[in-house]
Structure formats: C-alpha cells, structure tokens
A and B are shown apart, each in its own frame.
Chain A
Amino acid sequence: MNEPAPAMPISFTAGATRNWPLRVSLFILGSIALLCLIGPLVSGHPYDQVYRDYVLVRPSLFAHPDASEIDNAIAAIARRMHVHIEATRDGETMHLTLDAEKPVDPRVLRAFARSDLFAPAHIAATEDEGRRLEIDVPLKRMVFLFGTDANGRDLFTRVLIAGRISLAVGLLASFVALTIGVAYGAVAGYAGGRIDSLMMRAIEIVYALPFIFFVIVLVMVFGRHFVLIFVAIGAVEWLDMARIVRGQTLSIKQRDFVAAAEALGATTPAILWRHVIPNAAGPIAAYLAVLVPRVILLESFVSFLGLGVQEPLTSWGVLVADGARNIQGSIHLLIFPALFLGATLGALQSLGDGWRARA
C-alpha cells in the first residue's frame, strides 16, 4: 500500500503503444459492419435474384458476360429459335444477323430479354420477307465479385446480407444475455446468502438442459421463426454472464465505496446501478466481446442444422454449410463466407482479450 504510485502512469503509457491489436480488430469489425450495411445497396444485385445463366460463376473483378459466355448464350438461343446467327460485337451492343428457312416471328426475340445476358432486342432491318433479320441487342454488364452460388445468386450480396443477419443475431442475442445476465447476477451477488444460493441453483438447472434440445422444442412449439433464434440463444447465453457478474458483485460489495454508499443511505438499486455494475463493467465488456462471437457461432450452428434462418434469407452459418456441400466444384462458395465469419470472430475475440487485459 505504501508505494503504488509510480506503477499507474507507466503502465498506461506502455499500454498505449501496445494496444495495436485492439485497434486493428476494431477497424476490421467496423469495416465489416459498414460493408454489410452499405454493400447490398450498391452491389446491384438483390440477394434473392436468381441468374439462371450465371450458375456457379467464378469470382472475378471483370464484368460479365465475357466473349465465350456471349457465344454460348447466342448459340443456345439460335438452337432454340432454329435460326443461324451471325454476331458482331460493337462495344456494349451486339449486332446480330438472323438467317432462317422460314420467316422469323419477331416475338421469338423475347428469348433475348429473358436471358440474363442481354437487354431486349431491337429490329434494325428486315430483309428477304422476314427470313433475314438484323437486330441490335444491348449487353447487360454485371460484376460478380465473389462469383455466384449453385442457384445463380450473387455471392457478394449474399455474404453481406448474411453478415447483417449474423451480426444482428450476435448483437441482439448478446444484448438479451447481457441485460438478463447482469441484472440476475448483480441481484444474486448483492443479496447473498440463501437468495444467492437459490438463484444460482436455478441457473445450474437451466444449464443442464441441452441447447439443441431446447431449440428443437422451441421450433416444435412455435414453428420456425426468425425471432426464436434470439430467444433461444439469449435464454442460454445469459447464464455465464450471470455467473460472472455475480462473482464480480461478491467482491465489489466488500469494497469500501459500497459501504460508504450504504452509510450515505443509498438504496439497493441505486448501489447496484451506480457502484456495482460500473465497476464490473470491465469483465462484463470483456466477456461480451467473447459472447458475441459465440452467439454468431451458435446461430451458424443452428442454421447449419436447418433450424435457423430460412431461405432465401441467409446467414454466414448457412452460407458456410452451403459452401461445404459444394467444396469440390466451387470452393469460392466456402471461402468467402468463411473468411468473413472468421475475420469477425477473430477480431471480436482479440477485442475481448484486449479488454480483459485492461479490465
């Protein structure tokens, strides 16, 4: 007690230079969150839009369609229309010359509009009583940064939409766990004695319930619903939080400033709110940073089993499961969602470690 003075400022300055992992993880989390919020608005693809012509496209920075895709598509259309097509490309427009045995009905040109590669066609000239058509077909330019999935949906948009769901589940379920856990733990710890014992035994009973069993029961009773995930995860994850807060409360209530507040005549809720919870904030924040990734992982797990988010909505867990099924043919389906999930979990984890070290 006699000479603690020099230690404090020193450790602070030393900490300032050593907290770069904290900053890096905050930066990663921030950019992922921002990307998930803004990305789907500017990606140009709705998350549930199916492009039948672009199934399992590889990730690339260049716009589709490329030359071979155009050739293939035109060949396919020509086969269906029973015509011979001569194509020349002029920038973003294709000049096509259709030759047929019989006169071509212009209505068959709808095949171009129906394709994901072309915009509706215009007839530039009709020759030989309709047996020869000159048409202009503008190209649709599309970029699939992360490629597309087995249904031809843009993976980039889907990963970001999934990120919204996963982060929302992570934050909301953690928030549920936080509020219930902190309130329960603080009350149990501060009350002490028999009330404490009773409350903690109750927690141990809930602990004994297998999580998946609990989720299945919920789904059986209420049907599949998005909100059920929050309820199920929140209902299980607050237990640890309550234990941690209780432990903290037990030690904080021995501290002199709590006794001082009692001597001032402060009420129990006031003491809990003003003294106990703020002083337990360090461990709570640290555990929260561990809790959020755990919840995201749990949600992924539940969704992986098919009990969570339903198609066409998706989450990182669903995408990873999807990618795992296609691992041989198109590994990008696995890599991108896993990359996002991993980066988020890692950043949250190191954030938690950093905070715990400070707490």
Chain B
Amino acid sequence: MDVSAEPLLQLRDLRVSYGATLAVKGLSLTVRRGETAAIVGESGSGKSQTVLAALRLLPRHAHTSGSVLFEGMELLTLSQKRLDSLLGRRIAVVFQEPMSSLDPLFTVGSQIGAVLRLKAGLPRRAAYARAKELLDLAGIAEPGRRLHAYPHELSGGQRQRVAIAMAIACNPDLLIADEPTTALDVTVAAKILDLLAKLKQSLGMAMIFISHDLGIVRRIADTIHVMRNGEIVESGAAAKIFANPRHDYTRVLLENMPRARRHARRDAPVLLRAENIGVKFTLRGGLFEAKRAFTAVAGVSLCLDQGRTLGLVGESGSGKSTLARALLKLVPASGRISFDGRDLAGLDRAAMRPLRRSMQLVFQDPYGSLSPCMRVSDIVTEGLRVHDPAISRKQRDTRAALALEEVLLDPELRQRFPQELSGGQRQRVAIARAMILKPRLVVLDEPTSALDRTVQIGILALLEDLQDAHGLAYVLISHDLAVIRAAADEIAVMKDGRIVEQGPTQDIVERPREPYTRSLLAAALQTGEA
C-alpha cells in the first residue's frame, strides 16, 4: 500500500454518547485512498458505533461530537441533502445481516436498479443492464435469472453478494463493510472475503472492514485498528500487528484460538447409540398446494461412549440441530436410539420424563434460551422442580447457589434476571441449568457461537472441566472447526442431513477424505488460524 496516498476519510476525536454513557471515547483514525483499514474489537467495543456516527446514521438520542472529514468535507455538519448525495454514490455500506438490509417485497433487480436510477441517474433500461453486470461482478451465477428473484429465494451468501453488488453500484470511493461475513457459514464467508478483496483491487476503492475476528481481517487488511471499550488501543500495519503485537489486548485476541485437548479414555462403555435416524417435516401447503415432506435428517447412525465428546460439524441447514433434538427425542424421528442400553423408541413423553434427567441440552443463543421473566435461581432449578418436586424453595435456592459456583459464577447473581447478565454469563447459567440434574449426556448446540472469542475459550474450558469432573458425554454441535478440534474426541461431518465423514478428530483434521470436509477445513483454517 502506498503510505503517501492522500487521506480519504479522517476521524478526529470522535465521541458518541448515549446520555451519560460514552460508546466511543475520542477516536481518531485515517483511511487513505485505496487502503483497507480494519477495525477489530469484541461486541460492545464501539466499532459499529464509530462508523455509523461518522455517517450520521445513529438514532436521534445518540450524541456525536468531533470531526469526520471525507476529502476535506466535514460530514458531521454537512447538510442532510449533500450527505445523502454522498452516501451510496461515494460512500457505500454493507451490513452484517443481508436478509434485513434487503427489502423482502422487491426483486433483487429492482432494488439494485433503484440505486442506479436514484444515485447514478441511469434510465430504467440501462439500470437493468448494469444491475445484471453488477450481479455478475459480485459472482452470482445466472445473473439474468437472479435479477427477478426475491431476497428470500436466495441463500445467505447470495444475499450478501447482492448487498455488495448494490454497494458497489456507483463505484464508491469508500466501502464500509460492517461484519459482512459474520452471519454466514465459514465456506461462504471465505468466498465473500475473496470477492471483497478482488473488487477492492479492481475498483480501487478504500475499504473499512469491521470485524470481531482478527483471523478474518488478516487476509485483507492493510492497516488494523484494535478497539476496546470505545477506544483504539493499538493500530498499525497488518503485518506488524500480527508479527509484533504491542498491546496486551491485541495479544489476547491473537492467542485466542482454543488449544487442542488431550484425547483420552477409549475403553468406556457405550452411552448413546443411534441407528438409521431420520427426521421428516411436513410443510403445510397453501390452499391449492399439496403438503410437502422435507427430509432434515436421513439415515444417520452414530455411537457415543461415556465421558467422550462427539463433534458434529456442518454448515447451517445441514440438519445438525435437528439431529441433536432427535437424539433427545424432542422431535419425532424414525430409527432406533438406545441410551445406556435402554431402547428409547417406544417411550412416550411421560415415560421419557425420568430419563430427561440424564440427558440435557444447551442452546446456541443464550439470549433466547433463558426465559426473560424468570430469575436466574428459578431458571437454574427448573429441572429440580420437575424431577425432585419434594425439594423446598429454600433448598432449591441453596442448590442454585452451588450450581452457579460450579460454573464459576458469583452465586449472588441468582437474584438477577437474564437481561442483566452478559452473553458469557448467560451461557454459564444455561450450562448450570443442565448440570444441576447431574446428567450423563449433554447435547451442546453451538454453545459458543454467539459469544466473543475470549468468552468462548472460558466456556470451552468450563465444559471440559465439567466433563472431567462428572464423566459427561457431550454431543458438541458447531460450524466452527476450531472449536470442534479443540473439544471433540470424534468428529462427524454433516451435509444435507447425512453424515458424510466420521472418525477420530486427528484423522479427520489431518487426513480428510471427503472434498466437503476439505473445503470446510480450508475455510476454517484460512479465516481462523492462517
């Protein structure tokens, strides 16, 4: 990168406050023409707030001060009209969630066309032709046909490509990408990153890339700004930061890959055996439409020994979560499941109830899996109310305190509501809720995906300790191979409802047989560890 290139965007002493709370505390950075600057930080560090404030896209009650110069123009005091003419034409933004940034009521073509007509003043016909070109540029196959598709007819990756096509429609000088790959599967994310890097090169844009993941950023950033608590703690050339991080926090972020665990215990008895599991959903048809059957899981067989961890990997929609629920008999499934030598096939809900005690589930989203109306102590002890109804309220409270201590939470937190806890704390509460029943099998459905890397490490370590202490068997579901590799003894790779490859962790990671596994690994290693 040419360091002498003129600055395109300069932020000076930018502050964003909500009432008394400072979200961004006096931040300064410069983006030069053609440069890719990455802003990296954990959730809540103020990285999105920074760019949204610079473009005056924050809600009304946010107060912004400082200075934002774009080619010498002060954006913070620019008239709304001139700012609008800049946005979309000179500065474009790609957001994290493509489903919500596209209007579900219009076709992709008409949305891109609208941008072109409005911002570039193209006539309808020319806009249409250009939209097709843009889709092609964004790497969408059959752009002519896709122009007429509605956003819901596209996959997540395709939607993000459309959003990118829309952003580059007017050849902007600056593209701001706010976590553009976070909502996507690893293999798709890798392709989107390649696309962004390629487009940046060919169009000569400058780019601000916001991410929580240093691994992703390494591949495309020229300079990196590490943010924490609304401040930049370190910035510099990408190579320098990776080679020689100066600030402790950067080092924490860099070292944050989970360590691989020692794999032990091979002679344990079989706890869970599943044969030929299949799950079908009937989709309700419309008035004149027949019902359709959708196969989520087909012919899956697996076997899990006591005290060991089975990692289920696959992209979203591959049927991992459905399989996990089928194993716990939470969704109706065909096939045979035996738990601890007992056949679960014929058991109905009431007959399953005593067994539920020994098989538990932890969910991905700690925001959704804890009822917002209940106190932590009630959440944690709900299982006791089911399985030990005789226990008094006071005893339950003591048990809740003990359970919270076991997951390394302050027992005082049990009087709080889940909204008052952080994401990591909530996930610990969810784990405590499962552990209080002393289960033997715990299905962990993406237990770390919604969390920051530093928090993930803590949760994984906790899970490992609990496993060692109680001899638990885990079914660990994740799309993140780094997590699976760190925690699983065995890996099963799922695709389209089937297991395509299965084996000990080391074998799969080092000698993958299936091309699909190889592409997953490649994507994970590229973005994850490099």
Residues of chain A touching chain B, judged by Cβ–Cβ distance below 8 Å, are 1-6, 8-10, 13-14, 255-257, 259-267, 270, 274-275, 278-279, 281
Contacts and interface: CB of A to CB of B under 8 A. Distances in A.
Contacts of A3: 43-44, 47-48
A143 B367 CA distance: 62
Contact of A6 (B44, B356, B382, B383): B44
A14 B19 CA distance: 8
A266 B374 CA distance: 15
Contacts of B80: none
A278 B96 CA distance: 32
Interface of B: 18-19, 21, 23, 43-44, 47-49, 61, 96, 179, 182-183, 212, 325, 328, 330, 352-354, 356-357, 359-361, 363-365, 367-374, 382-383, 385-387, 419, 430, 433, 437, 450
Contacts of B387: 265
A256 B19 contact: no
A6 B182 contact: no
A266 B382 CA distance: 8
Contact of B361 (A14, A255, A263, A267): A263
Given A260-B433, A279-B373, A2 B382 contact: no
A20 B387 CA distance: 46
B352 A265 contact: yes
Given A5-B44, A256-B363, A264 B382 contact: yes
The 7 closest A-B pairs by CB, nearest first: A265-B356, A256-B369, A278-B373, A5-B44, A263-B361, A256-B368, A10-B18
A5 B385 CA distance: 32
A14 B61 contact: yes
26 contacts: A1-B183, A1-B365, A1-B450, A2-B43, A3-B47, A3-B48, A9-B21, A14-B61, A256-B364, A256-B368, A259-B330, A260-B361, A260-B369, A260-B430, A264-B360, A264-B386, A264-B433, A265-B356, A265-B383, A266-B382, A266-B385, A267-B386, A270-B385, A274-B382, A278-B373, A279-B372
Given A256-B365, A264-B382, 19 more contacts: A1-B183, A1-B365, A1-B367, A1-B450, A2-B43, A3-B47, A5-B43, A5-B44, A8-B419, A10-B21, A257-B369, A260-B433, A261-B382, A264-B437, A266-B382, A270-B386, A275-B371, A278-B371, A281-B373
Contacts of B23: 6
From A1, A2, A256, A281, name the one whose CB has the most chain B CB atoms within 10 angstroms: A2
Given A3-B43, A257-B369, A264 B356 contact: yes
Interface SS of chain A: helix, strand, loop or mixed?
A: helix
A4 to B, nearest CB: 8
B328 A278 contact: no
Given A263-B360, A263-B361, A270-B386, A257 B43 contact: no
B102 to A, nearest CB: 18
Given A263-B356, A264-B437, A265-B357, A257 B386 contact: no
A259 B352 CA distance: 15
A13 B359 CA distance: 42
A16 to B, nearest CB: 10
Contacts of B370: 257
Contact of B353 (A4, A261, A265): A265
B99 to A, nearest CB: 12
Nearest to B366: A256
A64 B353 CA distance: 76
Contacts of A266: 382, 385-386
A265 B369 contact: no
B44 A262 contact: no
A1 B361 CA distance: 21
A239 B125 CA distance: 53
A265 B386 contact: yes
A359 to B, nearest CB: 12
B43 A255 contact: no
A10 B385 CA distance: 36
Contacts of B359: 263
B386 A6 contact: no
Given A14-B61, A278-B373, A260 B43 contact: no
Nearest to B353: A265
A214 B383 CA distance: 47
B21 A263 contact: no
A260 B179 contact: no
Contacts of A262: 330
Contacts of B325: 259
Contact of A274 (B44, B367, B368, B374): B374
Contacts of B212: 2
A5 B371 CA distance: 18
A274 B363 CA distance: 19
A260 B380 CA distance: 11
A8 B182 CA distance: 22
B18 A6 contact: yes
Nearest to B418: A257
Nearest to A8: B419
A259 B370 CA distance: 10
Contacts of B328: 263
A302 B408 CA distance: 62
Given A2-B212, A9-B21, A13-B19, A260 B363 contact: yes
Given A3-B48, A6-B44, A14-B61, A259 B363 contact: yes
A6 B61 contact: no
Given A260-B361, A260-B433, A279 B44 contact: no
Nearest to A260: B369
A6 B230 CA distance: 11
A19 B123 CA distance: 49
Nearest to B18: A10
A101 to B, nearest CB: 87
A333 B474 CA distance: 76
A355 to B, nearest CB: 15
Contacts of B354: 265
Contacts of B179: 2
A5 B450 CA distance: 13
Contacts of A259: 325, 330, 361, 363, 369
Nearest to B384: A264
Nearest to B362: A260
From A4, A260, A262, A270, name the one whose CB has the most chain B CB atoms within 10 angstroms: A260
Contacts of B352: 265
Contacts of A265: 352-354, 356-357, 383, 386-387
Contacts of A281: 373
B61 A10 contact: yes
A290 B261 CA distance: 59
A281 B385 CA distance: 22
Nearest to B445: A256
Nearest to A281: B373
Contacts of B19: 10, 13-14
